[in-house]
Amino acid sequence: MNKTYNFNFSLSRLIFFVSTLSILFNSDLSNLSAEDFDPNSVRSADCKPGGFRCGYLPSPVEVQENIPLSRNFNNLGTLPSSFDLSPNMPPVGSQGRQNSCVAWATGYAMKSYLAKKNGKVPSYDPPFAGGSGQNIFSPAFIYNQQNGGKDAGLYYYKTLDFLQENGVATWKSMPYKDSDYLEQPSKEAQQEALEHRIKSYTRLNHKKPDDIKQVISAGNVVLVGIIIDDAFYKLKGNEIYDASGGQAYGGHGMVIVGYDDNKKSKSGKKGAFKLQNSWGTNWGDKGFGWISYSMLARVGQETYAMIDQASQTNTSISLTPSVNLSLLPPNEVHASRGEFSDKITLTWIESAGAVTYSIQRKDSTSNSDFIDLGYSNSTSFTDANLVPSSTFLYRVSSISESEVSSWSKQAEGFTNEGNQSTGRLEKVIGVKFSSIKEKTKNHLRITWSEVSDASGYIISKNTNGSIWKDIAKTKTTEFIDKSFSAKGTHVYRICASKNNKKAGDWSDSYAVNIESPKKIPETITSIQATDGNHSDKIMISWNESPGSTGYYLFRFNENYEIDGEVATTNPYYEDKDPKVLNGKYFYYTAYAYNEIGYSSQSEFTLGRIQTDQQKRSAGLSLDPPQNVILKFDPSVQSVNLKWDPVKDVFEYYVYRKPKNPNMKDSKFTFVNSVKGSQTSYSEKFPGNSGDLYFYTIRSKSEFGSESKNSNLTTAYWNISKVQIKKRSISLDEIPSKLLGIWTGSYWNPKSGPKNLSLEIASKNQGFYAVLKINDKIAKQFTGIWIQGSTGFRTNGFQLDLSNLEGNANVRFDSIPELEEGIEFSFTKE
């Protein structure tokens, strides 16, 4: 029996029905696959609360400190607001219930991406997507050889060392099976893997988004390890992981493939990183997910950038040096925060090309403008004659012979209230290395910036991954390591001391390689070019790079274009190219290389030949004086210069020029001559308080021409600092952004993840803070808030608001449950 149905819908109702259905369907379309994701499909039996073995094992603090931080100090103001490499990544795969996420992140995702990016493979062909696996790398090759026969996960640092020494084979040569973590690769696969070693790797600061963004915007992806919980497993579609939720399971490794400064989380925090996971396409947004900058700072444990190995090194140069010859402001300006009651000390990272620096200050509690404080020839400055409980903002600019940079980012500093002292000194910065040869032995000279109030310094060394060992104590800012002879990697760090005891944080760690056959050579240092010394050539020389077998030298013309390139096995080169005979300046930069790969680019040096117009006579042209040092005595306004003697010199010429708005076009003027038997000169300061002058010395033979300029030095008469009057007692309340509940995470190497919380309340003009570890009170702190400051400091506790909205960097001293010296990232609830 047939039934007839009468559909009496109007056209408008039909359209409304279809539109509504479409909206309802599409609004959750991106989440449908995420709802099908089963966390148990990627959890091993030990990936659980209390087990904490989910694949990624956070490296101990002392190991991380042994891995040098990336130090790429380009101008970060040019970073794009967003960048996405996910379309260029290999297809998302699934590790299954094996704890191999680190192998998936390093081998499958990152190494495969770099191989395709560098033109080593034409396309991706993973077997789970129907390919042969010839152009994709095997997680099994990495995981099965390192896990020690247990499905317990891997450390990033060990895996990256493994890739540097052994490389990785293709999936085709060693297929991945999530049920098999024991099978070992064939000899053929191991031999193939050697062709796919990485060149090097470097550590990034996961609390500084710009460090990660700079790597990504340059076309590389970043390895990351975080603590994961239920909320991360449940991440759907375009949601942003921005808050902890449920139980913590352990550590998980992935790759960061993009970022977006304008992406907002539910809590309103701006900025997020895009992750590629190894949990299949049902998780997140087809296998990708987002984590806020703030959350990564809190739950992140490590981030690394990998540098892929180039094709076999030979005399065919395929490098493309980058050119950035403009003078940049100093990086990482830091002001002391409550260490002293009567002064604030500033430190910063040296800016290439700077001869001296200008420092300015403003009161953070008023709308006043910045005022000039003075100049500094070093990378530190002390603002003295302050009173307790004062807060100021500082900025620094770099000054070269011909230009002044823009101002640095501002740094806040404050004095304490006068009745307490933490005793902690500033972190040592400005660490530099140079080689010294004594007969047949090479020694290493280490220098660093002075730390205010330090009575000495402690030098610690770690050789080939062994434990840190204090090797010397010195009262100066220089140390020569004469034990620098064993092959391998030597890592150094320095801290300030008082009475021969550690009184400040360790500096960043610095690695130096010595003739290690499985390491790329170190960056070339002390590259120099002659400036008018010869009429037919420019001589370029540099310090030998240990472990190198040769060098690539590049020449740039006045338009900053590559104008010549050459390979040499010597740490010097005579450039007799006819192009340099025009008398113009040329820029040079160099790389060291060996059979493993090539180093990072050296700094630039500037050189030219001696033209007929420059010649003063046909006599001998001497080298300029070395180590010109200037000291200014403000009590008698005296400028005192000293330098090393020059062989066969008849006399020295002293030149100077003032800092002025037309520095680029200004020239040195002759001041006086000094007999060849003397190596010093003194004169009254030629200007007034606040003025700056450049000085240089030239040597001259009896019948010859003047040498080129010596190293530049400056004389300045810093403006007399006005005594800051005692502030009246402030009735300002502590800003609400500092108060309330803060939460953080910590991975204890022995017992796994810990939940940290800080409850901070105001108490009159002071504060009261309670630290809890896993909801148990660990310690309580009290102190005074300094008006205008964005942080707290008292004995055993320091909190400073970070540049990330809603985040603070926190340190604790003498908490048994927490490792000493860790800086935690806390999020405001």
Q: Three-state SS for 160?
A: helix
Nearest to 172 by CA among 142, 144, 134, 139: 134
Strands 692-700 and 550-556: unpaired
Cβ neighbours around 436 below 10 Å, total: 14
Residues sharing a CB contact under 8 Å with residue 6, sequence separation 6 or more, in sequence order: none
pLDDT value of residue 127: 97
pLDDT value of residue 522: 76
Burial of 416 (0-12, 13-18, 19+ CB in 10 A): buried
Nearest to 249 by CA among 63, 35, 37, 45: 45
Task: Tell me where in the chain the CATH 2.60.40.10 domain(s) lie.
Answer: 331-414, 432-514, 528-607, 629-716
Class of domain 35-308: alpha beta
Query: What pTM was computed for the model?
Result: 0.79
Output the CATH code of domain 629-716. Answer: 2.60.40.10
Asked if 800 and 760 touch (Cβ cutoff 8 Å), the reply is no
> What's the CA gap between 653 and 651, in Å, rounded?
7
Asked if 204 and 305 touch (Cβ cutoff 8 Å), the reply is yes
Burial 611-633 (b: 16+ CB within 10 A, else e): eeebeeeeeebbebbeebebebe
Class of domain 331-414: mainly beta
- Domain 528-607 fold is Immunoglobulin-like (2.60.40)
Helices 156-166 and 139-146, axial angle in degrees (round to 10)? 110
Where residue 709 falls (left for φ over 0; alpha for ψ -120 to 50; beta otherwise) is: beta
- Residue 113 has, within 13 A of its CA and on its CB side, a CA count of 26
For tokens 């996910």, what's the residue? 86
Q: Which amino acid makes up residue 706?
A: E
Nearest to 381 by CA among 409, 423, 413, 417: 413
pLDDT value of residue 194: 94
> What's the CA gap between 444 and 510, in Å, rounded?
13
Give the Å distances, CA to CA, from 128 to 139, 172, 176, 272, 482. Answer: 13, 12, 10, 30, 55
Residues sharing a CB contact under 8 Å with residue 263, sequence separation 6 or more, in sequence order: 82, 240, 270, 271, 272, 290
Token reading at 6: 């009468």
CA 803, 807, 808, 811 torsion-angle sign: negative
Asked if 359 and 375 touch (Cβ cutoff 8 Å), the reply is yes
Beta bridge partners of 361: 371, 394
For tokens 């909320």, what's the residue? 231
> What's the CA gap between 537 and 612, in Å, rounded?
14
Nearest to 220 by CA among 242, 253, 198: 198
pLDDT value of residue 604: 87
* Mean pLDDT per 10-residue section of the chain, whose length is 829 residues: 37 37 37 68 92 91 78 57 97 98 98 94 96 98 97 96 95 97 97 92 92 93 97 96 93 98 93 98 97 96 85 48 77 90 90 91 88 92 91 96 92 86 77 74 84 92 80 94 73 92 87 60 83 86 85 90 91 95 90 78 86 50 88 93 95 94 84 97 95 95 85 89 58 88 90 93 89 96 93 93 92 87 90
Burial 203-229 (b: 16+ CB within 10 A, else e): bbbbbbbebbbbbbbeebbbbbbbbbb
Nearest to 70 by CA among 259, 255, 304: 304
Give the Å distances, CA to CA, from 177 to 31, 97, 821. Answer: 29, 10, 41
pLDDT value of residue 259: 98
Nearest to 660 by CA among 693, 682, 637, 632: 693
CA 254, 259, 263, 269 torsion-angle sign: positive
Q: Which amino acid makes up residue 498?
A: K
> What's the CA gap between 823 and 705, in Å, rounded?
57
Token reading at 236: 């759907």
> What's the CA gap between 54 and 695, in Å, rounded?
62
- Domain 432-514 fold is Immunoglobulin-like (2.60.40)
Phi, psi of 291 (to 5 degrees): -130, 135
Token reading at 558: 């006045």
Architecture per CATH, domain 736-828, reads as Beta Barrel (2.40)
> What's the CA gap between 431 and 509, in Å, rounded?
9
Strand extents, DSSP E, 78-148: 82-84
Asked if 101 and 95 touch (Cβ cutoff 8 Å), the reply is yes
Radius of gyration of the chain (CA): 30
> What's the CA gap between 396 and 409, in Å, rounded?
8
For tokens 């963004």, what's the residue? 213
Q: Which amino acid makes up residue 416?
A: N
CA 165, 171, 172, 173 torsion-angle sign: positive
pLDDT value of residue 153: 97
> What's the CA gap between 256 and 292, in Å, rounded?
12
Nearest to 717 by CA among 753, 676, 686: 686
Give the Å distances, CA to CA, from 320 to 317, 323, 564, 591, 599. Answer: 9, 9, 12, 11, 13
pLDDT value of residue 657: 94
SS3 sequence, 756-815?
Answer: EEEEEEEECCEEEEEEEECCEEEEEEEEECCCCCCEEEECCEEEEECCCCCEEEEEECCC
pLDDT value of residue 391: 94
For tokens 């150094």, what's the residue? 492
Length of the chain counted residue by residue:
829
Nearest to 195 by CA among 143, 156, 141, 157: 141
